[in-house]
Amino acid sequence: MFGIVRPCRHRLGEGLAAQWMAHLCGLCLALRRDHGQFARVVTNYDGLLISVLTEAQAAPAPGARRTAGPCPLRGMRTASVAQGGGARLAAAVSLVLASAKVRDHVADGDGLLARGPVALAARRVATSWGRAGERGGSAVGFDTAVLVDAVDRQVGIEALAGPGTPLLSVTEPTETATAAAFAHTAVLAGRPGNAVALAEAGRLFGRLAHLLDAVEDQPADAAAGAWNPLTATGTSRAEARRLADDALHGIRLALRDAEFTDGRLAHLLLAHELRRSVDRAFGTTSCGHGPEAAFGPPQGPYAPQGPGAPYDPRHPHQGGGHPFRSGPQPPAKRGFWAGCAAAVGLCCTCRLCCADEFEGPWSGKKREGWCSNCGDCDCSCCEACSCCEACSCCECCACDC
């Protein structure tokens, strides 16, 4: 599941984390329903932003969610998942862009794709995905030709780029593609007046995605002798960071110009989590103020809610215990053979790697899934909108905190 916006569930809080998972699972299931089981491999964190934006603008509808059956990636639990035009548009865009990515890797001869039979199979998969994405886009009134054209132009632009070429000339095709996808969410949601603002947000998001990919890949590209936009154009990391910060600022301003029915999740992902993505890529931190304790827990509509929120005294990251127990209770241990049976069950259901939390097969202790998306988060950084009043890092915040 690739993408630059990878939020930590502890920062989102229980309510918004459930919404985020609903859109992620909705994208995955839309890919399966419309394009087959194998298409689910293109599920990505950034694609679900399209589904999030569509729902954020639309009026509440009874058919916007459905209950999905148990899935190994959810620890064999059922869940409420997003469905409808937003999820289908996200699926179509993800397929077209994944198709382009595969073709690009084939052209570069990356890894196993340097071998003829593997490259031939990959081309067929890419062609199939491209056609499926075109059909999916047509079903929701979106012309994927703008995405295909952007990808085709990217190849020529990169071939001509050299020292002195403006970096934004290289990122332009990506910007055009994401702008079209973001703008179409306004059409699906029945808010055509939002199209211009969301096109601008999408354009800048595409710029960021391209920049951060270049920054993160630059060392590996240099070692492999591969093409990298920063190296090819002679752009410094300092200039790339300036462009990234300008794009972040522009996205926040664009979001302020759009009208949302419930824009909490969209704002948190595109204003706050995107800032963390930039910091992660450049190895920096955004805010210059002290710990959260200096300002208290976040207030307003973006503050995490519920017993799973990071500021609840019962939250494990705050050192709190169970509210109804006088002391810690030792976990129930299993014998050797019972533990072996439990371990087999954990492996077969993927809970060992994909569940948020599972019990150790022998010790019975609570453990976090190996593939949990909180591996790079200490959950002590600026939570949601807590820094909006305390420093200037979120000067254009669109929330009421």
CATH number at residue 182: 1.10.600.10
CA distances from 61 to 40, 136, 279 (A): 26, 22, 37
Range with the largest mean pLDDT of 112-116, 169-173, 294-298, 392-396: 169-173
Residue 372: pLDDT band (50, 70, 90) is: low
In a domain, 371, yes or no: no
Q: Would residue 309 count as lying in a domain?
A: no
Point out the least confidently predicted range of 28-42, 114-128, 306-320: 306-320
pTM for this predicted structure: 0.74
Q: Is residue 70 pLDDT above 70, yes or no? A: yes
Tokens of 55: 């729902």
Total count of domains within the chain? 1
Q: What is the DSSP string of 42-61?
A: G--TTTHHHHHHHHHHSPP-
Indicate the DSSP class of residue 362: T
Query: Residue 171 falls within a domain, yes or no?
Result: yes
88 falls in which pLDDT band (50, 70, 90)?
Answer: very high
Q: At CA 213, angle to CA 53 and CA 163, rounded to 5?
A: 125
Does residue 336 lie in a domain region? no
Cα separation of 350 and 80, whole Å? Answer: 20
Residue 294 lies in a domain: no
Confidence of residue 347 (pLDDT cuts 50, 70, 90): low
Could you tell me if residue 382 is inside a domain?
A: no
pLDDT band at 346 (very low <50, low <70, confident <90, very high): low
What integer pLDDT is reported at residue 365 of this predicted model? 66
User: Within a domain: residue 50?
Assistant: yes
Domain that holds residue 205: 9-282
The b-or-e profile of 239-273 (16+ CB within 10 A means b, else e) is ebbebbbebbebbbebbeebebeebbbbbbbbbbb
Q: Is residue 323 part of a domain?
A: no
Q: How far apart are CA 249 and CA 264, in angstroms?
A: 18
Write out the H or E segment, with its range, that includes residue 82: strand 77-82
